[in-house]
Each structure stands twice: as C-alpha cells, then as structure tokens.
Amino acid sequence: MTLLLSRTDIEAALDIPAVLAALDAGFRTTDRLPAAQRVGARLPGPGTAMCLIPGLLPDVPAYTVKVNAKFPAATPALRGIVCLHALADGELLALLDSASVTAWRTGLAAALATHTLAPRQARTVAVIGAGAQNRTALRALRTLRPIDEVYAYDLDPERAAAVGTVMPSARAAATAADIVLTATWSREPLLDADVLRPGLHLTSLGFDEPGKTELSPALLRASRLVVDDPALAATSGVLHDTTVDPALATPLADVLRGTAPARPDDRPTVFAPVGLPWQDLALAWPVYLAARSDAASPSFTFH
C-alpha cells in the first residue's frame, strides 16, 4: 500500500523539531554512507530537470529518489515527486509532493546552519526573495532563536510585505539586519562586499545549480564560507566558476561535529548549500511515519 502525500498532507504531518534533529544527525553521520548523486540537465525552453539519488540515512530503513523540474516563471516553480522506497526490497512506500519536500527540507537545513553560524545575539533578519524557500527558513529559524525584526525585499512588493518590512533594494535589506537569507533565481550578484561588517551572517540558497549566483566573488572571498558538500559546491554550487579557493570552504558537518569552530573570528560568515539527497529522506521518513499512523491516511492510499 503506497501513501500519496500532497502539500497539505505533508504540512499536516510535519514536525519541525523532529526534522531539524534528523537534519542535524544527518550532517554528523552521512560521511559513512555511499556518495549520492545530483544529475541535472537543461530542458528546451526555460526549464531544468534534476534527479537526486539515493537519499540515505543511517538507521532509516528506506531511501528516496527525487525527480524535479524547475520553471522559474511558473507557480509553483518546482514540480515533481519524491519516491520513498523500503530499503529491504524497494517497495514504494509513499509518493510525496516534491515542491513541498524541497521547500521544507531546504528551509529547515538553512535555519539549522544559520542558527549554528550566526552570533547568538543576532535577532534581525533580512529576507531577499520572499518565496517558499525563505518563508520556511524564516519560520524554522524562529523556532531556534528569537527574531525581533524582519526586513524583506522581493520583485513583488506585496509578497515582501507578507514577510516583513518592505525594503527598496537587496542591499538596503542586507545592511539593516544581522542575518541575511537569500533565495532567488538570480544569475547576477545581488550583494557585494560593501554590505559586509563584523558578525554578519548570510545564508544563500540560490547557488543550487551552475549559472545561478546571489553573492559576488569579492563578498565570498572576504567571508568565511561554509557549504553542505564541498565536492558538489565545486561542480554545481557556490564554488563553480568563481575565483574563490575551494580549500577555504568549511563543511557544515565539521562545524556540527565540533571539529571546526562555528565562528573562529568576527569575520562575516556565508552558508551556501547545494542541497543533498539524504535531506529529502530526513523529512520524508518522519512525515511518512506520521501520515501512516494517522487515522485519515487511508483516504490518500492506493494498492
């Protein structure tokens, strides 16, 4: 019996603290697992296609395969499915809406990294790009630390107003806050080194495929750079086609394990993830368990 989990089903079953704990554990332990793959290709026209395989975590008896298509002008911009399979025999346990899984696991991982890297006293946030990724990141960050003020910039002022105080530019938002969250489709830097100051933290979610960029090379060189996967960052993320030395990038896993300090000095920090297949499983597995135990779950099953 396979569960069909829509956006509504996923959000109803989502336990944010449990997924944050699974993501934290995943970063600490996934070096013991086989290497995962992100396979991407351009489609004719404005879209891209991508497959993330396999999503694995220690002690979880399942794996994920995600197939996505990205169309920046569409709503939602990301469409696809996450297939959850039993590890023992490949049984298809659930099909989950990929847009929801991606937005939540990316936002939650961003919040975890942001909370870990930003100074404890940082309580003002700039949101640049007020879409699903940043909205979920902000919501999760509020569960980890108090937030006193949110400043927002988006090409759509109404969408920005739904998140926080509307700012006239990305630079204006960034200079007003202690923490900066960027999640856009930009292929030109939105922020340069002139926004940097001691103690500032930036999380950039727009370096998830070649050609996309939100932060200038000068900004990256002047900051302490933290990534989710150095190899993927070099081939398709923040270290792709830049003048930033890959050897200077610190894996987030090292920070969470305590083998690298969160803030060795007062330099600005940048977290620029690519997104990893196991993160889909960190969200899909607890959501699946909660939905399976829900009395209403038979209403979205098929044989």
pTM over 0.85: yes
Share of the chain above pLDDT 70, in %: 97
Domain 2-102+277-302 has CATH 3.40.30.10: no
* 2-102+277-302 and 109-271: identical CATH topology: no
CA-based nearest residue to 205, from 74, 285, 286, 112:
112
**Pairwise CA distance, residues 69 & 6, whole Å:** 17
Tokens 């398709």 belong to which residue? 236
% pLDDT > 90, the chain: 80
What does the block give as tokens for 171? 């630079």
Determine the pLDDT at residue 295: 42
Report, at the CATH architecture level, how domain 109-271 is classified: 3-Layer(aba) Sandwich (3.40)
pLDDT tens sequence across 117-173: 999 999 999 999 999 899 999 999 999 999 999 999 999 999 999 999 999 999 999
d(CA 172, CA 163): 16
Given the DSSP bridges, would you call strands 92-97 and 78-86 parallel, antiparallel or unpaired? antiparallel
The structural domains of the chain, with segments of one domain joined by +, span 2-102+277-302, 109-271
Residue with tokens 């351009």: 42
Angle between helices 277-293 and 98-117 (to 10 degrees): 110
Q: Coil, helix or strand for 131?
A: coil
Other CB atoms within a 10 A radius of the CB of residue 48 amount to 17
Both tokens assigned to 243: 């003048």
